[in-house]
Amino acid sequence: MKFGPDRAHTRAADPWRRQTPWIIPNAVPGTSATADIQTQPAGAHVLADGMVSLGLRRRADAIAAAFGAIEPTLRDLTPRQFEPSFPDIASRILRDRLDVSVPPAALRATWTNPLNLRALHGAVVLAVFRQLVERAFDRDHTRLTDGESVEALIQRWGFHAVDVSACADGRLSGVLDYILRVPPAVVAWRKSYAGAMFDIDESIRHWESIELRRWRDGRPNTAGVPTRFLKIGVYHFSSLDPRHEGCAAHGSDDGRAAGTLLRRLEEFEAAVRAIHSEDAGVATLMVGVDTDTDAIRVHIPDGAGRMSLDRVADNRDLYPATAALDREGAKAAIRDAVAGAAGVVADDDATEGMRWLCGYLLKNNIGQIDAVRSWHGGAYADAGHTERLIVVGDPIDDVQLRNLAFQAQMNTIEEGSGDLFIGISILRKRLEPEGLPVPVLANARYDTRIPGAADRARKRAKRLRSAILASHPALAERGLLHVECAVRAGEAPRLEPVDPEDARS
């Protein structure tokens, strides 16, 4: 069977031939998308798209500013808490400066019962995060694809759905928008796990669900079209401090992180074929991220779809190797590197779609490397963790930024306690010395079409919260663990807060 896209139809969609960028700089509401576009900075890589990077930079600054305003605001408020009209004043200040809503009644202090600034800090961090999610930054760049939908483009690469499992590590919090720079519409499913150790049974169910939709509804294409479901696993490592700043779930051992994920991807692919026959449409791809420079290495599948730890196209090499070339030369060099790693000739039919995708990711990522170089002097100053919060339960991917959130997807803490433990340890190390609690959002998504689903989601969010607190009783007791719950109707921008004490829901 031939999985590669039909050449006659795909040449026109070759991303290498596109001039328009995928991501445009209009991320910050209130600023004009085109007002002060800067030209490509001097010394930039020929494949880097300055406009895209600028947009991403603006959004990053807006997010950092929102969180950065929290501590000064709370420091200002602390000594004034015993003033007579403090609750109203403080509520207004929190709204004006942080755009979060805290009712005055929650800000009432007496000399015997002063404000709990720890709890307030945790609550405000989560409120700022919720507010950023609701702001719904424009991430939908499908209109930039020359009138062709992202879905159609993916299909031309030979896929009908893309499922990404990344490590829960906060330094991958920007993996889609920043590191890989793929429009959200490309990714049908996204969950994070410590060490990227996704649940095989759940992934099989996802494969089945997507496959059934093809058969019953012909969406995104009919089952007769030989496209594949692509599962991408993303691990990470640190080029500057490999033994300490790598993946905590794998003891900061680069080889172990990649080897374990590769085995799991192979198991997933084998499982789908074993259950649904050898011709089941499934493919896997593994990507490693250097969290110091955001450079990726892509483990290129060979002609039989097999990957190895060594057969990679690595942007740490490709960036400098292509820096002095002209645009066409740089693209050709990446194409050749991908074909070389795949061990196929440059015009091999069977691997064409996958090679295009790999080249697309590598080219996009060169823009991110370039941005890190120009804005952070080559590598991030904060090589380690500075996550703001932990998201437990269902993923929240709307706000993308390095070190924003440690995301640990799980149905119950009983299954996910290892992931949660890693996340709390990471944030605690930084926050506890400052006397600040680890803010955790227990999030449950529901399908508005399913009767009773909202109510069950509220129950699940509350159950997660209870289990998180129960799993770290000493920390909770000392006020160093602040857990709230929320539910979300499908893809709606609003995270609905859930009162954990409300027995009705």
- What are the residue numbers of the active site? 169
Contact 495, 134 (CB under 8 A): yes
User: For residues 316 and 456, which CB has a smaller minimum distance to a copy of itself in the complex?
Assistant: 456
How far apart CA 93 and CA 97 sit, in angstroms, is: 6
Could you give phi then psi for residue 374, rounded to 5 degrees?
Answer: -75, -30
What's the one-letter identity of residue 175? V
How far apart CA 252 and CA 158 sit, in angstroms, is: 35
Contact 170, 403 (CB under 8 A): yes
Give the 3-state secondary structure of residue 380.
coil
Q: Measure Cα distances from 62 to 68, 98, 373, 401 in Å.
A: 10, 12, 20, 11
Contact 98, 69 (CB under 8 A): yes
What's the one-letter identity of residue 416? G
> In whole angstroms, what separates CA 164 from the centre of its chain?
9
- Among 218, 219, 153, smallest CA distance to 185 is for 153
CB 209 → a copy of itself: shortest distance, Å?
Answer: 6
How far apart CA 250 and CA 267 sit, in angstroms, is: 19
For every residue of 248-282, which 3-state class applies, written as one string? HHHCCCHHHHHHHHHHHHHHHHHHHHHHHCCCCCE
Site residues, a copy of itself (CB under 8 A):
200-201, 204-205, 208-209, 211-212, 215-217, 223, 264, 266-267, 270-271, 274-277, 411-415, 447, 449-453, 456, 463, 467
DSSP 12: G
User: For residues 324 and 450, which CB has a smaller minimum distance to a copy of itself in the complex?
Assistant: 450
Could you give phi then psi for residue 44, rounded to 5 degrees?
Answer: -70, 155
Residue 205: burial class (beta carbons within 10 Å; 0-12, 13-18, 19+): exposed
405-409 sheet: strands from edge to edge: 405-409, 389-393, 438-446, 481-489, 496-498
User: Which H or E run contains 77?
Assistant: helix 70-77
- Among 232, 100, 252, smallest CA distance to 154 is for 232
CB 265 → a copy of itself: shortest distance, Å?
Answer: 11
Cα angle 456, 459, 460; round to 5: 85
